[in-house]
Amino acid sequence: MERRNFLTTLLARVGAPLAALVPFLPAARAEAASKAGDPAWKLSPAEWRKRLSPAAYAVLRDEGTERPNSSPLNKEKRSGTYVCAGCRLPLFSSKTKFESGTGWPSFWQPLPNAVATKTDFKLILPRTEYHCRRCGGHQGHVFNDGPKPTGKRYCNNGVALAFVPGG
């Protein structure tokens, strides 16, 4: 059952007058990925499927979420750079990675001009989604419960990243 229909049915059954608000709720599914910031990365779904694994496609292009604790990048401790798995744009330095306990690789700051954000209503309440600035691939969500100095937690899907050791 679609979320909108589920909410309408649930609210109607409990007699809540809020059911009238359901038509104003955001759609259950956001448009796939964000628009590419670089025209060279405006690829068709078929072109993306050729470049990405099915798991990476589900996250980067369909804004999915991988299972927590499923990424080997959670345990990555070497110095290096985390790049977008779609277009290889550098997104995070290993110097900003921290253990958040959430089951996903987490960072307190992206590299300059690496990510863009938009508001995501998929869980009804607004969240801040971030994506690769160049190809528009979905990376994860940013929260205000991270460590100093930024207080941010960029919670990233590991399958949306690749790690480049060094530097």
In the residue annotation, 84 being an active-site residue is answered as no
How would you class 157 by CB atoms within 10 Å of its CB: exposed for 0-12, middle for 13-18, buried for 19 or more? buried
Q: Which of 87, 132, 135, 155 is catalytic?
A: 155
Alpha helices in 16-137 (DSSP H): 45-51, 54-60
Token readout for 91 is 């997104």
Q: Residue 121: what are its φ and ψ, rounded to 5°?
A: -110, 20
Determine the Cα–Cα distance for residues 144 and 153; give it in Å rounded to an integer.
Answer: 6
Identify residue 90 by its one-letter amino acid code: P
**Residues labelled catalytic:** 155
